[in-house]
Amino acid sequence: MDPEVSLREQVRAVLAEALPRGTFDPGLGMVGPVDPEFSAALAEHGWIGMAVPTRYGGRDATAVDRFVVVEELLRWGAPVGHHWIADRQIAPVLLRFGTEEQKMRLLPPICRAELCFCIGMSEPDAGSDLASVRTRAIAVDGGWRVTGTKVWTSNAMSADFMITLCRTGDGARHHGLSRLLIDMRSPGLTITPIRFLDGSTDHFAQVVLDEVFVPTNMVIGEIGSGWAQNTSELAFERSGPDRWISSFLLVEEFMRAEPALAASRDGSRWIGEVVAQYWVLRRLSLAVARSIDAGQEPAAQAALIKEMGTRFEQDVVNTLREMLDRELLCDVSRDRPPPLFERLLRRAVLHSPSYTIRGGTTEVMRSVAAKGLA
Ligand SMILES: Cc1cc2nc3c(=O)[nH]c(=O)nc-3n(C[C@H](O)[C@H](O)[C@H](O)COP(=O)(O)OP(=O)(O)OC[C@H]3O[C@@H](n4cnc5c(N)ncnc54)[C@H](O)[C@@H]3O)c2cc1C
């Protein structure tokens, strides 16, 4: 059997045994719940930090192998929140820019799912325009003192470290930016939850840094190289299955919960269109994973996939709502929760507006793709 197909079968078998359908509340894509125990169980199989060399605790696998695992996890709605950022972004960043000491210290616990990370890029006046970040790090004895405010920081409450873009020098906007790994338990760091559309307060936060000390050995790469580093990792962040698969489970559950509607003329035509679009996006996304394995940096292609994939994810949610043509059940009683499809659709209605914002907005993706592919 083809090794990629065989890996997919293994992941499916493990998920079916560890998380049988009906025994857990599935998540929608990468916003899966935070479950350190589940992440640790995945790590036992070698499925976290897969592309990390064995000497740092990984499996020396490829970006395509990771694609295979991630696609299955997200399709299943698995609770990936604990290890998501570490696996997708931090491990590749450390491999590329980290010092030997950082690799030896941080990569093995990442591969064992012992560390959770969050991303501190956005600020109140710097979202799309990241070159405007104002969080400032000032050199002091043995390290840096960081002061500023980060906002929309996903999973700040459960993270051990935040990869933080900050200003370490003056001059042109894109210069003088650096990235530091900040311990979330540092004195001077305050996390304040931000209420999400669905009322939850455990996902989002504002992180205020008041002269937080960061030792020199937690600077990633050269001081002043933050902008270039950031740009180079976009292919990892924007092109994976997480950017087009968030509504997959919803379509699957729609077919289970509403078989007559799904088999109707309009329903079956729509399902055909959805499957065709999934296939196209999957092929594009896989092509980016293969070019990452070939040592390329397909940032423009990744932006295009994010633009197409997240719009598609939203279209699925909107069309399902229109097809149902009724109000969603709002009974939140614990004794009689609404059926899974209804719960997923309710959640998707509240979460899907964010798909085209998080990780870079649609307008910005179009701009990156147009400039990069011109
Ligand atoms: C669910 C979710 C999770 C997030 N998680 C994180 C996280 O973990 N860490 C983190 O750092 N950030 C996170 N963010 C923040 C996210 O990256 C920003 O919201 C996003 O980059 C947009 O920035 P902004 O909100 O400041 O909007 P703005 O940049 O102010 O944009 C407002 C509007 O103007 C448009 N616009 C802006 N610039 C241009 C331009 N040059 N050309 C054309 N149109 C433009 C945008 O497309 C948008 O429609 C998250 C956001 C969401 C919704």
195-239 pLDDT per residue, tens:
998 888 988 999 999 999 999 999 999 999 999 998 877 777 888
Show which of 194, 224, 254 is a domain's final residue.
Answer: 224
Pocket test for ligand 1, best of 164, 179, 209, 361 (most atoms within 8 A of CB): 361
352 lines ligand 1 (CB under 6 A): no
Which of 152, 195, 203 for a ligand 1 pocket mutation test, highest count of atoms within 8 Å of Cβ? Answer: 152
- Pocket-testing residue among 34, 88, 118, 128, ligand 1, by greatest number of atoms within 8 A of Cβ: 128
**Quick one: pLDDT at residue 275?**
97
Measured in Å, residue 274 CA sits from the centre of ligand 1 at: 27
Question: If you average pLDDT over residues 346-374, what whole number do you get?
Answer: 93
How far, in Å, is the centroid of ligand 1 from the Cα of 122? 8
CA 367 to ligand 1: nearest atom: 42
285 lines ligand 1 (CB under 6 A): no
pLDDT value of position 26: 93
Q: Cα separation of 65 and 61, whole Å?
A: 6
Residues 253, 133: one domain? no
Q: What is the DSSP string of 218-245?
A: GEESSTT-HHHHHHHTHHHHHSSGGGT-
From the CB of 206, is ligand 1 less than 6 Å away?
no
356 in ligand 1 pocket by Cβ < 6 Å?
Answer: no
Residues 163 and 71 in one domain: no
Under DSSP, is residue 160 helix (H, G, I), strand (E, B) or coil? Answer: coil
> What CATH number is attached to the domain comprising 175?
2.40.110.10
Percent of the chain with pLDDT over 90: 83
**CA quadruple 328, 332, 335, 341: dihedral sign:** positive
Give the CB-side neighbour count of residue 316, counting CA atoms within 13 A: 32
| Contact assessment for residue 306 and residue 356, using Cβ atoms and an 8 Å cutoff | no
Domain extent for 123: 119-224
pLDDT band at 334 (very low <50, low <70, confident <90, very high): low
My answer on whether 160 and 197 are in the same domain is yes
Neighbours of 142 (CB within 10 A): 10
pLDDT at 331: 58
- Using an 8 Å Cβ cutoff, are 215 and 199 in contact? no
Which residue owns the Cα nearest ligand 1 atom 43? 363
- Mean pLDDT for 19-37 is 90
Q: Are residues 86 and 124 in the same domain?
A: no
Tens-digit pLDDT profile for residues 112-143: 999 999 999 999 999 999 999 999 999 999 99
The CATH number assigned to the domain holding 100 equals 1.10.540.10
Clarify whether residues 111 and 150 are in a common domain.
Answer: no
Q: Residue 295 above 70 pLDDT?
A: yes
Average pLDDT over residues 300-305: 94
In this structure, the answer to whether residues 158 and 107 fall within a common structural domain is no
Q: Whose CA is nearest to atom 40 of ligand 1?
A: 364
Domain boundary among 115, 148, 176: 115
- Whether residues 33 and 107 share a domain: the answer is yes
Tell me, what CATH number does 315's domain have?
1.20.140.10
213: three-class secondary structure by DSSP: strand
Distance from the alpha carbon of residue 129 to the mean position of ligand 1, in angstroms: 8
Q: Say whether both 100 and 127 belong to one domain.
A: no
Band of residue 325 on the pLDDT scale cut at 50, 70, 90: confident
**Could you count the other beta carbons within 10 Å of the beta carbon of residue 272?**
10
Residue 107: predicted pLDDT: 98
pLDDT band at 330 (very low <50, low <70, confident <90, very high): low
> Do 265 and 326 sit in the same domain of this protein?
yes
In sequence order, the β-bridge partners of residue 206 are 192
How crowded is the C-beta side of 49, counted as CA atoms within 13 Å?
Answer: 30
Q: Which residues contact 74 (CB under 8 A, 6 or more apart)?
A: 29, 30, 32, 80, 241, 242, 245, 246, 248
Cα 153 to averaged position of ligand 1 atoms, centre (Å): 12
Split into its structural domains, the chain has a count of 3
Q: Of 218, 219, 212, 251, nearest to 75 (Cα)?
A: 251
Q: Does 26 contact ligand 1 (Cβ within 6 A)?
A: no
Q: Are 182 and 135 in contact (CB under 8 A)?
A: no
Regarding whether 330 and 213 lie in a shared domain, the answer is: no
Expressed in angstroms and rounded, the spacing between residue 363 Cα and the centre of ligand 1 is: 10
Q: Report which secondary-structure segment, H or E, holds 215.
A: strand 204-215
- Mark which of 115, 139, 165 sits at the end of a domain: 115
Q: Assess whether the C-beta atom of 357 lies below 6 angstroms from ligand 1.
A: yes
- Give residue 217's pLDDT: 97
> Is the pLDDT score of 335 beyond 70?
no
Q: pTM value?
A: 0.95
Which of 177, 357, 368 has the most ligand 1 atoms within 8 A of CB, as the residue to mutate? 357
For ligand 1, the distance from its centroid to the CA atom of residue 234, given in whole angstroms, is 15
Pair (106, 125) in one structural domain: no
- pLDDT at residue number 230: 87
* Band (176; pLDDT cuts 50, 70, 90): very high
Same domain? 262 vs 353: yes
- Mean pLDDT over the full length of the chain: 93
In angstroms, how far is CA 317 from the centroid of its own chain? 20
How far, in Å, is the centroid of ligand 1 from the Cα of 55?
A: 37
Asked if residue 171 has pLDDT above 80, the reply is no
